[in-house]
Amino acid sequence: MKKNWIFSLVFLILMGVGAFAAYRFWPGIKPVVLPPPSVDMPLQLPDGFSIEIFADGIPNARAMRFDERGNMWVSATRSNTVWLLEIENGAVVRKTPMFQNLQRPHGLAFDPKNPFTLYIAEEHQIVRTCVYCDDSSPEKIIDLPPSGRHFTRTLGFGPDNKLYISIGSSCDVCEEPDPRYAAIYKMNRDGSEFELVADGLRNAVFFTWHPKTDALWATEMGRDRLGDDLPPDEVNIIEAGKNYGWPICYGKQIHDTNFDKNQYIRDPCEDTEPSHIDLQAHSAPLGLAFIPNSDDVLIAYHGSWNRTVPTGYKIVRAELDAAGNFIRMHDFITGWLTEDNRALGRPVDLIFHEGALYISDDKAGLLYKVSFPAA
């Protein structure tokens, strides 16, 4: 009887702690867990820009790529599907779940030398397939480490014709047992010569190359449990052989003494790379795209889930000089987060195609098209 009483008391204490935590963080969690309200989407853009829904009914829409025929392919990670959107005269005329029963597919990349060869990054492997071929069965080219906390793997072919992949950490903050985690690697088309590019990257979900310098730029999400405003999320310029600090450093070479209790003769962050741009903590930066005929870059803030006051849920424009140095930040598209902290959507990927900007939204299951003012 006494043992049952003790168990009951412990259970009530845990329930109380859980209820208090849910109450405290509910304003921050609310936009993520509640469905979007059934209202029009009042998005705000700068004067001269316009936005429209390009496609709907694509649940969990994440990465987007256009093929040689002008059609779009979209990964739907949580529904284990890659969609084909056939386009005529600038409009989607047919949506087909082309590859199904995959294992949380995310990254997509078309081979620039074989433009009908599509690479797909699942959480545990990379496969490739010939689109529009009679036999389009995916072929595995390489295994990936088992997913943990972060399961999205993103792909892209670089200026060196190598296939790049980002692999997030298996945890929030820890010493990784496998060096493939928290890093960006590159490889040949067949998966051979799998080579480290840079590590110390907790969760660099999206990356792209600067159109003028060919430098590799990546967004990165900082760790949790350091409060509302630490550590900063980041934009990094990735250089081969460099370490970007995680798990013991963040931002501008700041030592994470909350995690790393070791004593050092000199600063352990001294040999790590500082962030290029610090972003508001918990903004969850994902897609980034350089604006054609401009030095500036757009960044999609997926939005916080672990902050007492929600942040993000928008697209920002980072103003840069010709050398890529950061000048200032502006809001570019806002309105996904309502005044009562309900999320109408959560922007993910950003790509430019034929002068227009396309945005994926994994909460509303939408794709948007943004038209720019005439030059």
The answer to whether residue 336 is domain-embedded is yes
> How far, in Å, are 92, 246, 300 from residue 56 at the CA level?
10, 37, 19
The answer to whether residue 199 is domain-embedded is yes
The answer to whether residue 163 is domain-embedded is yes
Quick: pLDDT tens for 324-357: 999 999 999 999 999 888 999 999 999 999 999 9
- Does the pLDDT value for residue 2 go beyond 70? no
Mean pLDDT of 64-78: 97
Quick: pLDDT tens for 172-182: 999 999 999 99
- Does the pLDDT value for residue 229 go beyond 70? yes
Question: Which DSSP state fits 18?
Answer: H
The answer to whether residue 22 is domain-embedded is no
The answer to whether residue 173 is domain-embedded is yes
Q: What is the pLDDT of residue 14?
A: 46
For residue 275, count CB atoms less than 10 angstroms from its CB and return exposed for 0-12, middle for 13-18, buried for 19 or more. Answer: buried
> How far, in Å, are 20, 30, 49, 73, 283 from residue 24 at the CA level?
6, 11, 38, 40, 19
Give the separation between CA 345 and CA 363, rounded to whole angstroms: 5
- Give first-to-last CA distance, the chain, whole Å: 80
pTM summary value: 0.91
Quick: pLDDT tens for 293-306: 999 999 999 999 99
Q: Count structural domains, the chain.
A: 1
Q: What is the pLDDT of residue 11?
A: 47
- SS3 call for 100: coil
- Does the pLDDT value for residue 308 go beyond 70? yes
The answer to whether residue 294 is domain-embedded is yes
For 187, residues 6+ apart whose C-beta sits below 8 A from its C-beta are: 142, 162, 163, 165, 193, 194, 195
- Does the pLDDT value for residue 207 go beyond 80? yes
- Residue 272 structural domain: 34-371
The answer to whether residue 175 is domain-embedded is yes
Quick: pLDDT tens for 133-171: 988 889 999 999 999 999 999 999 999 999 999 999 999
The helix (run of H) or strand (run of E) holding residue 186 is: strand 183-187
Quick: pLDDT tens for 33-67: 666 654 466 899 999 999 999 999 999 999 999 99
The answer to whether residue 74 is domain-embedded is yes
> What CATH number does residue 314 fall under?
2.120.10.30
- Does the pLDDT value for residue 3 go beyond 90? no
Closest CA to 165 of 206, 202, 193: 206
